[in-house]
Amino acid sequence: MTATATPARADQAPLAQGDRLARGYEVIAHLRRGRDLDVYDVWSEERDCRCIAKAARPDRRASKSTRRRLRSEGRLLLSLAHPHIVRAYELIDRPDPIVVLETIDGETVDHLVHRRRQRLPLVDIAYLGMHLCSAVQFLHRNGIVHVDLKPSNVISDFGQAKLIDLSIARAPQRVPPGIGTRKYMAPEQVEGGEIGPHTDVWGIGAVLFEAATGAPPFGESGIQTLNGSARWSVSPSVRSQRRMPSDLVTAIEGCLEPDAAARPQVMELSRRLDGFVESRLGAELNTGA
């Protein structure tokens, strides 16, 4: 009689501290479990330091799509080098794909915004936007759209923003409805359509909106659809939730235009944010003088 392997269950426990994730990598802690992946804090014997490792969940190891996305993210990150994008150290291909990443201190923008009692300073929000513009512009020059810009995919480390999780990044193309995270999706993601740099501009706007106000622009449900068409449940008005200078309001709300062609280009958005920072700091210097 031939023995058959018992399929892994969705509730199977992740690896524990001290377990080996792969040769040369010992688990320090399990950080989180997503729909397809487990993320671990690991010790690299070769590098003699801590790293982050992304691996398929036990019940998803046999999934061709999960393995393909993990390998794709690893190869992409290994090909990129940018101060505002998480750096990959290694892609372990066999027996199961594992992506090994640098450890970034700090916290996600999502955690930062909701932990603080006071809202983020406006200059910090502008700097956040400039760093995201720098990162996504680099991706776009390499023919890649991130597609999943959201506060939990941005880490703030002593004033420096780093973009993480390129697991669904792809070339500009037509996509079916629902690619991305619901409450941060642009209309072309909700309805299905052509994604491109304009989609990431929307994502930057959504991150900055939440960083400024503490809530996503269209509520927890995001843009709703009715008979196949996008329905705007809440008009994204930053000023209705926080007093802000008009130039910063215009920069953020311009990203959230339903018409993709009406959104600013990434470099244009970066210049607007840079102009706001310069004017703000200049005003502070003049006041101090």
Residues marked active site are found at 148
Phi first, then psi: give them for residue 6, nearest 5 degrees: -80, 120
Query: Both tokens of residue 150?
Result: 């959201």
Distances (CA, A) of 116 to 109, 110, 212, 216, 288: 11, 11, 12, 16, 27
Contact 179, 199 (CB under 8 A): no
Q: Which long-range contacts (CB under 8 A, 24 or more apart) does 36-45 make?
A: 36/60, 36/63, 36/66, 36/69, 37/66, 37/70, 37/167, 38/14, 40/14, 40/15, 41/103, 42/100, 44/89, 44/100
Tokens 């037509």 correspond to 174
Count CB-CB contacts under 10 A for residue 86: 20
- Whether 220 and 183 have beta carbons less than 8 Å apart is answered as yes
For residue 79, the tally of other CB atoms under 10 A from its CB is 10
β-pair type (193-195, 173-175): antiparallel
- DSSP state, 131? H
Contact 186, 229 (CB under 8 A): no
